[in-house]
Amino acid sequence: MRESTIMQLQYGTAVLALGLVTVHLLMQGVLVPYGEAVSFQHVLSVYRNVVDGALLEVLLIVVLAHGFNGLRIILLEWRQSAGWTRGVNSMVLLVTLAAISYGTRTVILAATGQVT
Amino acid sequence: MGGEELVLRIQRFDPSLEKHPHLERYAVPLNDGMTVLDALLYAKDRLDHGIAMRFSCRMASCGSCGMKINGRPRLACETQLADLRSSTVTVQPMDNFPIVRDLVVDLESFFSKHRAVSPHLVRKGDPQEQESPTGEYLVTPQELDSLVQFTYCIKCGLCSSSCPTSSTDSLFPGPQALAQEYRYLQDPRDEAGDERLDLVDTEHGVWRCHFAGTCSAVCPKGVDPALGIQLLKRHIMAARSPFRRRKPKASSGARVFPNPNEDLLKRP
């Protein structure tokens, strides 16, 4: 993938994350009182709502993609060699996919009622 | 200023003999209109012949005397001592380059990065036309406006020495090379097109600029490399976006205008 394509994703996810985090925070402390928002049963109910659950899944993907690509950029600027560049690119991609998979698993388990 | 003295602190370092650089102090008499280069030359001529430094034109044209003066990258020849408003002036070699000796740095990496972006017009047309042009390749005033400031670059290296990315990423082309890349990309006579974008659209290329803007702040010729880099990014985004409607036109193509003096040239 071209670096310009990756950077388009980086800028796109930054804008998306701003919007999604704003909505998320509104749901956590403004639209719903904070004490209620973080109660276990309320959190589960959020996951079970299709729209809210989907929003959390998108937020997970957007934030992880943006954050890990930022980490990749820092690591690339830290050291320079073909091996390091290849290694960082591969490792960051793997870790990002693993983190997204793990987070998605949580979303699915909560949304399908396998967590009570 | 007559009769006053300036304390000039010069960083001395010979990598073949020493492990670390050190500062040496020289007392230099101040004169009206004296520049840092004048003070350095006084110290070299009268106090210590061993001071190593580069200079040539003494008029901010050649870009040889770039150095760090009181912590800021500047040209020694155009920096007036009076403007520094300090009785002590510290002169050190530019950052981000290996030191050859004292104030002299190795600019090989700087010039190789400059060469790497093909800092010349690339033409793909008829070689015969290039050898014997049938007319003039004109640039409109508007087209010239979009690139002219980048042609003022004197390749002094001050921008790269102040760049935070250049200090950590040795493969980053640096502000000078990237601004030159934009300058040729904008030139309507250049036909390199996507090949130019490939040179800088890489993991260590144009995207590693974080827009600190120090390059533009220190440029002695008023060039704004940071602007060139951002415009270069915008051009690449537009050219390579999957959502683009049409390819941006970096150049309006070569337009050959008949030479108005052609008749004169043909006369025996």
* ipTM for this prediction: 0.85
At residue B131, the pLDDT reads 81
Mutate to test the interface with A, among B207, B232, B233 (most CBs of A within 10 A): B207
- What CATH number has the domain bearing residue A14? 1.20.1300.10
User: Which segment, A21-30, B122-131, B172-181, is predicted with the most confidence on average?
Assistant: B172-181
Q: Which of B172, B207, B242 sits opposite A3 (nearest CB)?
A: B207
Buried b / exposed e across B189-226, counting CB within 10 Å, b at 16+?
bbbbeeebbebbbbbbbbbbbeeebbbbebbbbebbbb
Mean pLDDT of B159-182: 97
Rounded to 10 degrees, the C-alpha dihedral B244/B247/B250/B254 comes to: -170
DSSP annotation string for chain B = -TT-EEEEEEEE--TTT-SS-EEEEEEEE--TT-BHHHHHHHIIIII-TT-------SSSSS---EEEETTEEEEGGG-BHHHHT-SEEEEEPPTTS-EEETTEE--HHHHHHHHHT--S----S-HHHHHS-SEEE---HHHHHHHGGGGG----SHHHHH-HHHHH-TT---HHHHHHHHHHHH-TT---THHHHHHHSSTTSGGG-----HHHHH-TT---HHHHHHHHHHHHHHHH-TT-SS---S-----EEE-TTHHHHH--
Q: Is residue A116 part of a domain?
A: no
Report CB contact under 8 Å: B169, A89.
no
For A8-23, the pLDDT digits (tens) are 999 999 999 999 999 9
Of the candidates A4, A85, A89, the beta carbon closest to that of B240 is on A4
Q: Identify which of B168, B205, B207 has the shortest CB distance to residue A78.
A: B168
Among the ranges given (B88-92, B208-212, B224-228, B263-267), the one the predictor scored with the smallest mean pLDDT: B263-267
In chain B, where does the domain assigned CATH 3.10.20.30 lie?
A: 5-105
Nearest CA in chain B to A1: B202
Nearest Cα of chain A lies from the Cα of B245 at a distance, in angstroms, of 16
| CB-nearest partner of B169 from A3, A80, A89 | A80
How many domains, in total, are found in chain A?
Answer: 1
> What CATH number labels B5-105?
3.10.20.30
Residues 6+ apart with CB under 8 A from B243: none
Sign of CA dihedral B148, B74, B37, B48: negative
pLDDT-derived band at B261 (thresholds 50, 70, 90) equals low
On the question of pLDDT at B138 being above 70, the answer is yes
**B53-57, B96-100, B123-127: least confidently modelled range:** B123-127
Percent of chain A with pLDDT strictly greater than 70: 100
Q: What is the 3-state secondary structure (H, E, C) of chain A?
A: CCHHHHHHHHHHHHHHHHHHHHHHHHHHHHCCCHHHHCCHHHHHHHHHCHHHHHHHHHHHHHHHHHHHHHHHHHHHHHCCCHHHHHHHHHHHHHHHHHHHHHHHHHHHHHHCCCCC
Cα–Cα–Cα angle for A102, A106, A107, nearest 5°? 115
**Three-state SS letters, B237-262:** HHHHCCCCCCCCCCCCCCCEEECCCH
**Chain A residues in contact with chain B using a Cβ-Cβ cutoff of 8 Å:** 2-5, 7-8, 73, 76-78, 80, 85, 89
| Domain-embedded: residue A34 | yes
User: In A, which residues are within 8 Å of B172 by CB distance?
Assistant: 77
pLDDT of residue A92: 97
Instruction: Indicate which of A2, A3, A92 best probes the interface with B, i.e. most B CBs within 10 Å of its own CB.
Output: A3
Contact at CB, A7 and B207, closer than 8 angstroms = yes
Quick check: B171 and A73 CB within 8 A?
no
B244 has a chain A CB within 8 A of its CB: no
Does A71 reside within a domain? Answer: yes
Write down the pTM of the prediction. 0.86
Is B108-265 in CATH node 1.10.1060.10?
Answer: yes
Is A73 inside a domain boundary?
Answer: yes
User: How many other C-beta atoms are found inside a 10 Å radius of the C-beta of residue B168?
Assistant: 16
Residue B254's pLDDT band (boundaries 50, 70, 90)? low
Contacts of B148 (CB under 8 A, 6+ apart): none
Whether the predicted pLDDT of B249 surpasses 70? no
**pLDDT of res. B126:** 79
Q: Which of B27-31, B61-65, B253-257 has the lowest mean pLDDT?
A: B253-257
Residue B2 scores a pLDDT above 70: no
For residue A93, list chain B residues with Cβ-Cβ distance below 8 A. none
> What is chain B's mean pLDDT, rounded?
91
Higher local confidence (pLDDT), A1 or A15: A15
The pLDDT of residue B262: 57
Structural domain contains residue A26 = yes
Q: Is B202 on the interface with A (CB under 8 A)?
A: yes
For B15-24, write each residue's pLDDT tens digit: 999 999 999 9
Residues of A in contact with B202 (CB under 8 A): 3
Cβ <8 Å between B207 and A78: no
Residue of A nearest to B172 (CA): A77
How many angstroms away from the CA of B157 is the closest CA of chain A?
20
Domain that holds residue A65: 3-111
The rounded percent of chain B whose pLDDT value lies above 70 is 90
Measured between CA atoms, how close is A96 to chain B, in angstroms? 18
Residue in B165, B168, B201 closest to A2 by CB: B201
CA distance A78 to chain B (A): 6
Q: How far from chain centre, in Å, is Cα B196?
A: 19
What integer is the mean pLDDT of B164-185? Answer: 96
